[in-house]
Amino acid sequence: MIWLETAGATGVTPVQAQITTADKQFSPHVLVVPLGSTVTFPNHDPFNHNVFSLSEEHPFDLGLYSRGETRSVKFDRAGIIRIFCNVHAQMSAVVVVRDNPWYAQPSNDGSFSLKGVPPGKYAMHSWHERSEQVSRDLEVPAGGIDSLELQLDARGYKFTPHLNKFGRPYPQQARRY
């Protein structure tokens, strides 16, 4: 994920987006939305889910809900929001909320494009869930920038199990579903 930050407010148009729960997975795994957007979480599994986040930027708990039900969350603060299911410890997703239109999700080959960026000084941030966030100053000239090289290092990544919505480890006993 790549985004620019600048001083002063810029307008974004909120959208309606969706992260589905099916086969004990969230899809898409990473979703980027403008500030003020609402994300729905429909349950397509034949059992209950409890979607929640303990992220500082936007903690929420949608409670337990069953197949065919949908719950939603409005994201009114920019940031990276990690989302989990309190029933299934393996389920995770990330919602990245941006407060300006200058963001991109790189393609599989790592290429990306940010269109319509006005000339000026920015803080450029790059993030991947298996790497530390990298930030640097960037000055965009009137003609834009044709190429830019970024590198994130995920070699030190170590999986750490997240906690449940009560801030405790998930039970170790087997689950029925």
Three-state DSSP state, 2 = strand
pLDDT value at residue 175: 55
Percentage of the chain surpassing pLDDT 90?
56
- The side-by-side arrangement of strands in the sheet containing 2-5 is 103-104, 2-5, 120-126, 134-140
* Domain 2-104+118-140 in CATH 2.60.40.420: yes
Nearest residue to 14 via CA among 98, 115, 118, 116: 98
What is the reported pTM? Answer: 0.84
At 17-53, the pLDDT tens digits run 999 999 999 999 999 999 999 999 999 999 999 999 9
CB neighbourhood size of 52 (10 A)? 19
At 58-86, the pLDDT tens digits run 999 999 999 999 999 999 999 999 999 99
**Distance (Å, rounded) from C-alpha 95 to C-alpha 27?**
11
- pLDDT higher than 80, residue 152: no
| Domain assignments of the chain as residue spans, ordered by start | 2-104+118-140
Amino acid at 19: I
